[in-house]
Amino acid sequence: MFRPLFAVLPLLIVAAPSLAADKIDPKIRAEFDRTDANKDGVLTRAEIDARVARMDVGKAKLPPGKAKAISGAWFNTADANHDGKVTPTEMQGLFRALASRYDTNHDGVVSLDERAAARAAVIGPAAGPTGR
């Protein structure tokens, strides 16, 4: 199964506040490197589009329109300086903000219930076996 960009959130919420701004968490770096198809050290909109289009949602793929909407929103939010590229620092900043947002009880951990609510907010209710 292909791990979505959002899958690292539960793993990062505990460590994220203690990371220095210029130090990239190894899990974020690994996720970034898997997404950086041309290995130029930045993520383009096309690389994000391709990565999100390959994401599994349960036993189905995201519908193309939903994948495009998610990747566009992700890219626009992550590209903090609006230069058309996402750096590892920008990606880490987005994940920190998302983790903080989804940790609704502010205990420093994204619980399974908080993760399920975050998933539903991003991609909607879980699809049935037919993907509908």
**Separation between Cα atoms, residue 40 and residue 92, nearest integer Å:** 17
Q: What was the pLDDT predicted at 81?
A: 97
**Tokens coding 96:** 């920190």
Residue 79 has a pLDDT of 97
The pLDDT mean for the chain works out to: 80
Domain range for 17 is 5-123
How many domains does the structure of the chain reveal? Answer: 1
pLDDT tens digits, residue range 94-116? 988 888 888 899 888 889 999 88
**Which CATH number goes with the domain that contains 98?**
1.10.238.10
Domain annotation covers residue 132: no
| More confident of the two residues 106 and 6 | 106
Does 5 have pLDDT greater than 70? no
User: What confidence score (pLDDT) does residue 24 get?
Assistant: 94
Task: Report pTM.
Answer: 0.69
**Better-scored residue on pLDDT, 106 or 127:** 106
DSSP state of 57: E
CB 43 within 8 A of CB 32: yes
Residue 57 falls within a domain, yes or no?
yes
Q: Using the CB atoms, write b or e for 64-73: b if 16+ within 10 Å.
A: eebbeebbee
For the segment 125-129, the average pLDDT, to the nearest whole number, is 50
The CA-atom distances, in angstroms, between 26 and each of 54, 105, 129 are: 22, 26, 35
In a domain, 96, yes or no: yes
pLDDT 10s digits, 7-64:
544 444 444 444 445 699 999 999 999 999 999 999 999 999 999 988 877 777 878 8
Q: Is residue 128 part of a domain?
A: no
